[in-house]
Structure 1
C-alpha cells in the first residue's frame, strides 16, 4: 500500500472498488443541481454497507447514518457536482459528457475540482468504518452534498431538514484535492478559505439607436463603467492585510444575434466579493453596491439599478481543537514529512454552513469542523511540470477548475481514504483499538 505504517490495516483491499467508483464518476460528471446519477451511485454504496440512507435531500443530496453505540456523531462530507469545463487530460477515462447550459445549448461537463475523488474516498472510508465497528463507538454520518460549486447545496440540505432527519453531528470532517504532491495532506492554522458573496447587478433603462446615445440611459455603459471602477474597492479602500478580492466575472447585455446599431435596455453584471473575515466581507459588499449605484447615478439619464445577492458563504475556519487532533492522527498515519501547512486561500466553500457557522439555519451553533487539503499530483506529473523548484512547479501545474486538472488515481484515493478514516477515528470514541 502507498500510505505509511500507521494507517489502519485493510484499507489497501478497498482500492479496486474505490478506483472503480472514482473512474465511473469521472466519466459521468453532472452539473450542480443535476447530480441524479452521481447521487444514486453514492447512495448504492452506502446502502450496501449497512447505512440508513436518505436521498433527495435539498435536491439530489444523500445523507447516511450508521449508529454504533453511545458516543459522538461524526459526519464525513463530500460533494456531488462537477463543472461546465471541457476535459483536456487525454486519459482513457476522460469525460465526454455534456449537459444543457443556461441557454439550452449543450455544454461540456468535467470533474475539474476533484469532487469525484472526494466521493470515492468518503465511500471507501465509510465502508472500512462500517466493517470495523469494533474500533469505534458513536454515530457515523456521511453526506453527499449537491451544488457546492454554486454555493447553494449545503443551505438547501439544511433548509430541507438535514439535521432533523439524521442525528445532528458533533463534528464535521471534509477534505479537498489540490495541486500539490499526492500522498500528502495539509492543514491550516487559521482561516483555510475565504468567505464570499456573489451579487447580481442589473442596470435597466431606455435603450435606443446607436446614432443617438444622448437620448438613452445606456445600461451597458453604466455596467462597463462599474466594471472598471470595482477593482479600486480592493486596491484603494481596504488594508492589504484583509485580503479582500472584488471580481467582476461576467457582463451580459444586448443580443449578439442582432446588428450593432441598438443600445441595449438591460445589462447584467455578476460580481464576487471574497475576504478572510466576515467584517471585511460586509464592507466589501457594501462598497460594491455603493460603486454600482454611483456609476449609474453619474449618467445624464441614469439607468435603474437592482442589486441581488445570489450566494453567500462564510469563512472556512477549521476548529483549532479538532484540527490539532486530526493533524496528529495524520502525522501518526503518514509520518510528519507528509503532513504540511496550508496558507489561507481566496477560494471559497459552503462547508461552514454545516458547522456551527450555519447555526442560523439549523439551530446548532456548537458543531465543530475540520477541513484539510489533499495532494493530488503524482510523481510523473510533478516531474514534468516546468520549473526547477517547488514554487515554480506549483505555478506550472494544472490547478482546480483547469481542463487539464487530473489527480493521480492511486495515490490520491489511498491517501484520501486513509485521511478520512484516521480523522474519523480520532473523533469517535475508541473501542478495542
Structure 2
C-alpha cells in the first residue's frame, strides 16, 4: 500500500524542526512499526517530513498464532523462536526493498532508521526475553532491546541503509510498547488539554489518558477481531474488503456495502463489522446482549447479502463483543485511576488501521468509543509510524518522548479485581455511559 496521508494542521504547524542529523537536501528516513497483526513501514523526507512511501504487510508470525500469548508460549522452543524471528526479519527485508525501489531513493540517502512496536513483538523480533511475558509480575518492569537489536534486523537494515543511524525506540514495559509512546508524541499529548485520550486499536489495544500532568496508560487483549481476523467472513483491510455498511434503500437486502478501492466484496474488515452491529441493533435483529433474532446456532451463517454471499454468525458477534468490552473496561480503569469521569474526556485520537476506517457514530452506538462530539475525535491511522518519523527528525520530539516516559503511570489490569466486573458490564452493545 502506497499511501501519502494528510495529517492534521496542529501537527504540521508544531515546531518539530529537522535537527537530529546533518542533512543533505534530499536525505530521508525510514520508520518501522512492528505490530502483532501488521507491520508498517514508511520512507519520508527528513527536511519537511513529507511521506514518500508507506507500506504495510501482515505479520508472518501469525502462522504460529493469531494472538501474542500463543506465539510467546511457542517461543519457549528455541527452534520456533528462531523461526518467528526469521520470518519477521525476512518480511521486513522484502518490504524495505520494495519501498526503496518505489521511492527512487538511493540507499546512501537514508540518514536514519527508527523502530517502534509492541513490546512482545519486539521481543520476538530480537529473540530475547519472551519468557518474561508469561510472568505478570514482570509486566511493569522496564524493557530494553537496543543491545539485542545489534543482530538480525540491524544486519538487514545496514544492508539497505548503510550510512543510516539506527534507533530502536525502547518500549515502556510488558504489554505497553514504544508504538504507544510514539503515538503520544505524534499527538503532542503533553501540549494537549486534560481529558485527551489515545486509543491504538489492534490485537493488543493500547490506551493512554492525559490528565494534564500524567499519562495513564494500559493495554487490553482485544484479540485480532478489530483487524478482521478470527471472524467467519473477516478480512484484513485489503481491496474488496467491506469497510462501510449502510441501511439499504432497496427491497433487495438490509445493507448496502462499500468496499476498499470499489472492488467486488470479498470479506468484512473491522470497521465494516462495527457498522453491521449498529445496523442490526437499529433494525432490532440484534439486542444489547448480542442475541440475534431467532437465536441461531453459534456457527449458523446469517445472510447479510445474497450475491456475493456475505454473512455474520453469533460466534462473530460474541468475539466482537469481547473485544469491545476489553477496551471499555480498560478505559474505565484508567478513568478511575486518574480520578476522572467520562464527561472529562474532551478529545480522542483513534489510531490503528482499524481506527483509520472507523465510522465514529457506529462506534459510539455500540459503546466502542465514548460519546465525545465528533469534532473532538480524530482518526489517525498509524499514528505510531508518524511519531517514529517525528522522533527521528527532531530533537524536540525526542525530548517529548523522554518527558512522556517520566509522566507515564501504568495500569496493570491483571492485578485489578474491578476489571472483571467492568468487563462483564461492558459486554452490552450500547453507548458508553
Answer whether TM exceeds 0.5 for this pair: no
Tell which has more relative contact order, 1 or 2 (C-alpha 8 A, sep 6+): 1
Q: TM-score, normalised by structure 2?
A: 0.30
Select the structure of larger CA radius of gyration. 1
Structure with the higher fraction of residues in strand conformation:
1
